[in-house]
Amino acid sequence: MATSISIGTSQSFELIRSQLDKEFDMLHHEGIDISLAETSLGNYKFLNCSMGRTVKPEQEMVLKHYVANAVSDFILNHWENLILRNIIREHYYYLTKEEKENVVEKAVKILEASLRPGDNDFYMYRLNRKSKILHKVLDYLSLNSKINIDGFIKFRLQDYVDDLHHVLEQAVDELMLEKEYHEFIMLLKYFVDIQEPRAEKIHVLLLASGSFQLFDDNHRVVNNEFLEGCIVEMVDNEINYEDLLISALITIAPKEVVMHIPESCKAVNTVKTIEGVFGERAVLCYGCPLCGRQNQKKH
């Protein structure tokens, strides 16, 4: 008796066909031939995969594993993006078109984790997602000879879809934080623009400890009066040096801010904030007695 499995989908039929061709080509090299026949029903296309009349139980299991592998890859490589967009359309309809695209990109990055050479996080995470789908497909094929991928995702992969919901929530949270940060920067920029400059140039030496020092253009320490008011406002809380620095710079509103960053200092966020607030007035120093580097240039 012939063994066959029918795979149906309403989406990108040629992709699943191509995936199955690759899988079955490997079986052909092992002496197992699979015949394929296409049929259509409404918006769905089906691919019937049949083995010969004399089929051993282990050959039937091999066929199911190869089909399950192809279906799992198809869901990850094609359907995943569709599911993300459907969730956004249903639950995040209030976002603009541009924001929705931004969220999809963020979600994909979260799912893909990292593609850096030698970093296995991406591969392990993807393998784990595929493994869950693969086992679900195999369980289904153990009792059924026909699988409609659209319906299978909807009714049998709810945990997987829920995971995508959580990823989108994280992506939307990131978007909201970025919007709040941008609005915050625009507000600070406005304050700086309307302030009368109290100094031509201020040098900021960012320290590895997270703190900082301010100097005038003659490399003399700036009077603490610009910091005292800011510190008073933070006295009841743990002092955040980045907030303190930004507050001091807004108070002084210099025509130019030169940032000196020693090699041991990690201050990417602080530099980004200062550049956002002061724009072209912010300069990054790459070498002087304050930071110990060579050559100074605009950032």
Other C-beta atoms lying within 10 Å of the C-beta of residue 82: 14
* C-alpha angle 207-208-214 in degrees, rounded to nearest 5: 5
Give the pTM: 0.79
Banded pLDDT at 29 (limits 50, 70, 90): confident
Greater confidence (91 vs 126) lies with 91
Mean pLDDT of the chain: 85
User: Which span out of 18-32, 39-53, 83-97, 264-278 was modeled with the highest average pLDDT?
Assistant: 83-97
How confident is the model over 132-152, as a mean pLDDT?
95
Query: Which pair of structure tokens corresponds to residue 264?
Result: 């041991």
How confident is the model over 40-54, as a mean pLDDT?
87
E strand or H helix at 126: helix 121-141
Determine the Cα–Cα distance for residues 52 and 103; give it in Å rounded to an integer: 48
Determine the Cα–Cα distance for residues 178 and 259; give it in Å rounded to an integer: 24
Greater confidence (265 vs 179) lies with 179
Give pLDDT, residue 268: 83
Banded pLDDT at 94 (limits 50, 70, 90): very high
Give pLDDT, residue 243: 85
Give pLDDT, residue 232: 45
Q: Is the pLDDT of residue 117 over 90?
A: no
The 10s digit of each residue's pLDDT in 246-269 is: 988 998 999 999 998 876 667 788
Give pLDDT, residue 294: 37
Q: Is the pLDDT of residue 235 over 60?
A: no
The 10s digit of each residue's pLDDT in 199-216 is: 999 999 888 777 888 998
Query: Which pair of structure tokens corresponds to residue 169?
Result: 């929530």
The 10s digit of each residue's pLDDT in 181-192 is: 999 999 999 999
Determine the Cα–Cα distance for residues 169 and 84; give it in Å rounded to an integer: 11
Secondary structure of residue 7 in the 3-state scheme: strand
Q: Is the pLDDT of residue 234 over 50?
A: no
